[in-house]
Chains A and B, each alone.
Chain A
Amino acid sequence: MEAAAEPGNLAGVQHIILVLSGKGGVGKSTISTQLALALRHAGKKVGILDVDLCGPSIPRMLQSQGRAVHQCDSGWVPVFVDQEQSVSLMSVGFLLEKPDEAVVWRGPKKNALIKQFVSDVAWGELDYLVVDTPPGTSDEHMATVEALRPYRPLGALVVTTPQAVSVGDVRRELTFCRKTGLRVMGVVENMSGFTCPHCMECTSIFSSGGGEELARHAGVPFLGSVPLDPELTRSLEEGRDFIQEFPKSPAFPALTSIAQKILDATPACLS
């Protein structure tokens, strides 16, 4: 039986969701950001913890690059990305002196920073903490799962793209979840087809069907397919709120549906 953790800085965090993929470049950071924004629009207070130390993408996606991180008595104050302070963010990106500086660290040093990120960020009261991870099944993932274990994460969202090369890696990530006792809330298939804006023909640029098949094979829920959407990629580039600004875009229904499924899967809290 695990000893109850000292609540500390995660005491006010109701639910923790990890976003994982064995494969790089499938859209973990994109899905993390869009999930956070959709949950915010559903009235929730959300934090995002970006533990991708080598490639911290989230600050730019929320137009927060270069923001300063302050300290308080309980640790680092996360950066608020909006005026209402309903979305907060912590990323190694904020700690780099120069944005192009490479974080060339071996495992042990990465583990140490991740432990600090988990325990030393003063999140305050949050409905959800979304944890974005780098690709793989290595130091960062083990450190994150171990550090979060006492706080009983809600589970993991696993992201893939449709093609076999992605699914091949993501199968291994599902094994990682099983071995580390992390519940898989579901599989999201990203980059599912592209509708040509000129002639409306839909092309499966990265093949098709892999995500659903993977979910079925692993016996986990399939949460949905998100199509390629240049308005989404542009929003991420410019740090804009896609969920708010592009409700008619092809990716919007899929993303909001995924967020709704997360809300539905979240156990009600006794107040």
Chain B
Amino acid sequence: MEEVPHDCPGADSAQAGRGASCQGCPNQRLCASGAGAAPDPAIEEIKEKMKTVKHKILVLSGKGGVGKSTFSAHLAHGLAEDENTQIALLDIDICGPSIPKIMGLEGEQYVEDNLGVMSVGFLLSSPDDAVIWRGPKKNGMIKQFLRDVDWGEVDYLIVDTPPGTSDEHLSVVQYLATAHIDGAVIITTPQEVSLQDVRKEINFCHKVKLPIIGVVENMSGFICPKCKKESQIFPPTTGGAEVMCQDLKVPLLGKVPLDPRIGKSCDKGQSFLVDAPDSPATSAYRSIIQRIQEFCNLHPSKAEQLISS
């Protein structure tokens, strides 16, 4: 019986198609032909384009539905509150592009003068259109977003990703490899069913040498609007993000409680930070955003280092 190789050397490695673990892999012939080995010229082109982008942050999670897009959108909103900061939000969730809805955009790309958005959602003519693409076509779209969009002078580029550790994640890391990514913010919810996927995501970051800015624990407790008592809807049966972060030695940036107003703001395409300034979730967001800014300022990009030296 054919085994799928666990130790795939990688389509672009020197061993592609030739390694012992390649025997029996359906892609062996393709890899052995050297198709994957040549460096993609787009990587250099993207590096050039990214020279005007100071900080790049990826928002990841192994798990779906934990609040990556919600967080990406509000990170963008929070940073853009400073009118002198130019923010770009790139949504590379090709199959499930949530960002246009959460940002209240029906095709225009600018939420504010200083906050621009790009998503495959803008390219779809109907809300029922499905993007039924295999990996290589998704990768091509991501390449186009990074290489062909005129980003201009941007202080923060936030990249919202789909759940998982697959084509989109590999591609964005590969294409931005030479352009310096500041780091990844990893979103989770408290329960083990999420954490078990998030640990994989953390390992993915280590594997591809992507720095981890920290972990955000979302949906961390619910305060009943009537009686104000707290309930754990997604119980942290294994200690939640706090214990995971201690075990894996990554920073916990903060915990965001569940507030029904968050979902409503996202549905209306408005900033929750503005809609509910008094919410404990808003304070949590603001504190996390500040920690992210501090991280980026402490770890300037190579371009910035060269300029200041």
- B167 adjacent to A54 (CB under 8 Å): no
- B96 adjacent to A230 (CB under 8 Å): no
Q: How far is the CA of A164 from the CA of B104 in the complex (A)?
A: 12
Asked if B199 is at the interface (CB within 8 A of a chain A CB), the reply is: yes
One of A112, A139, A164, A198 near B229 (C-beta < 8 A):
A198
On whether A233 and B200 interact (CB within 8 A), knowing A104-B165, A172-B131, the answer reads no
Q: A22-B95, A136-B95 are in contact. List 8 more A-B contacts (CB 8 A).
A: A54-B163, A54-B164, A142-B134, A172-B95, A205-B260, A236-B191, A237-B235, A238-B237
Q: How far is the CA of A173 from the CA of B306 in the complex (A)?
A: 47
One of A29, A61, A103, A161 near B165 (C-beta < 8 A):
A103
Contact with B along A27-65 (1 / 0, CB 8 A): 001000000000000000000000000110100110000
Contact with A along B67-111 (1 / 0, CB 8 A): 001100000000000000000000000111010011000000000
One of A110, A141, A168 near B166 (C-beta < 8 A):
A110
Q: Which residues of B contact A29 (CB under 8 A)?
A: 193
Q: Which residues of A contact B27 (CB under 8 A)?
A: 108-109, 112
When C-beta atoms are compared, the residue in chain B nearest to A29 turns out to be B193
Contact with B along A160-182 (1 / 0, CB 8 A): 01011100110111111001100
Q: Which residues of B contact A228 (CB under 8 A)?
A: 233
- A168 adjacent to B132 (CB under 8 Å): no
> What's the minimum C-beta distance from B122 to chain A, rounded to whole angstroms?
13
- A198 adjacent to B224 (CB under 8 Å): yes
- From 2 to 43 in chain A, residues with beta carbon under 8 angstroms from any chain B beta carbon are 22-26, 29
Q: How far is the CA of A228 from the CA of B231 in the complex (A)?
A: 12
Q: Please count how many residues in chain A sit with their CB below 8 Å of the partner chain's CB atoms.
A: 71
Asked if A106 is at the interface (CB within 8 A of a chain B CB), the reply is: yes
Asked if A264 is at the interface (CB within 8 A of a chain B CB), the reply is: no
When C-beta atoms are compared, the residue in chain B nearest to A114 turns out to be B4
Contact with A along B20-34 (1 / 0, CB 8 A): 000001110000000
- A165 adjacent to B258 (CB under 8 Å): no
One of B127, B191, B200, B266 near A163 (C-beta < 8 A):
B266
- A108 adjacent to B135 (CB under 8 Å): yes
One of A103, A204, A236, A238 near B260 (C-beta < 8 A):
A204
Asked if A153 is at the interface (CB within 8 A of a chain B CB), the reply is: no
Asked if B150 is at the interface (CB within 8 A of a chain A CB), the reply is: no
When C-beta atoms are compared, the residue in chain B nearest to A105 turns out to be B166
Interface residues on B, range: 35 or more
Contact with B along A106-129 (1 / 0, CB 8 A): 111110110010001000000000
- B226 adjacent to A25 (CB under 8 Å): no
- A102 adjacent to B207 (CB under 8 Å): yes
Asked if A224 is at the interface (CB within 8 A of a chain B CB), the reply is: no
- B166 adjacent to A54 (CB under 8 Å): yes
One of B95, B237, B263 near A234 (C-beta < 8 A):
B237
When C-beta atoms are compared, the residue in chain B nearest to A95 turns out to be B6
Asked if B277 is at the interface (CB within 8 A of a chain A CB), the reply is: no
Asked if A203 is at the interface (CB within 8 A of a chain B CB), the reply is: yes
One of A61, A198, A205 near B193 (C-beta < 8 A):
A61
When C-beta atoms are compared, the residue in chain A nearest to B248 turns out to be A100
- B64 adjacent to A205 (CB under 8 Å): no
> What's the minimum C-beta distance from A89 to chain B, rounded to whole angstroms?
15
On whether A106 and B166 interact (CB within 8 A), knowing A135-B95, A138-B134, A138-B138, the answer reads yes
Asked if A265 is at the interface (CB within 8 A of a chain B CB), the reply is: no
Q: Which residues of A contact B226 (CB under 8 A)?
A: 196, 199, 201, 203
- B166 adjacent to A104 (CB under 8 Å): yes
Q: List 6 A-B contacts (CB under 8 A).
A: A54-B164, A135-B96, A135-B163, A138-B94, A237-B191, A237-B238
Most buried by B among A29, A106, A168, A234: A106
Q: Which residues of B contact A151 (CB under 8 A)?
A: none
Q: How far is the CA of A12 from the CA of B20 in the complex (A)?
A: 36
When C-beta atoms are compared, the residue in chain A nearest to B201 turns out to be A102
Q: Which residues of B contact A95 (CB under 8 A)?
A: 6
> What's the minimum C-beta distance from A167 to chain B, rounded to whole angstroms?
9
- A198 adjacent to B1 (CB under 8 Å): no
On whether A179 and B130 interact (CB within 8 A), knowing A196-B226, A205-B222, the answer reads yes
- B233 adjacent to A194 (CB under 8 Å): yes
- B166 adjacent to A198 (CB under 8 Å): no
- A25 adjacent to B4 (CB under 8 Å): no
> What's the minimum C-beta distance from A85 to chain B, rounded to whole angstroms?
23
On whether A109 and B170 interact (CB within 8 A), knowing A24-B96, A169-B96, the answer reads no
Asked if A197 is at the interface (CB within 8 A of a chain B CB), the reply is: yes
When C-beta atoms are compared, the residue in chain B nearest to A23 turns out to be B96
When C-beta atoms are compared, the residue in chain A nearest to B236 turns out to be A237
One of A108, A136, A196, A207 near B231 (C-beta < 8 A):
A196
Q: Which residues of B contact A109 (CB under 8 A)?
A: 4, 8, 25-27
On whether A60 and B235 interact (CB within 8 A), knowing A55-B164, A116-B2, A199-B226, the answer reads no
Asked if A266 is at the interface (CB within 8 A of a chain B CB), the reply is: no
Q: Which residues of B contact A197 (CB under 8 A)?
A: 231
Asked if B227 is at the interface (CB within 8 A of a chain A CB), the reply is: yes
When C-beta atoms are compared, the residue in chain B nearest to A238 turns out to be B237
Q: How far is the CA of A95 from the CA of B3 in the complex (A)?
A: 11
Q: How far is the CA of A71 from the CA of B1 in the complex (A)?
A: 10
Asked if A137 is at the interface (CB within 8 A of a chain B CB), the reply is: yes
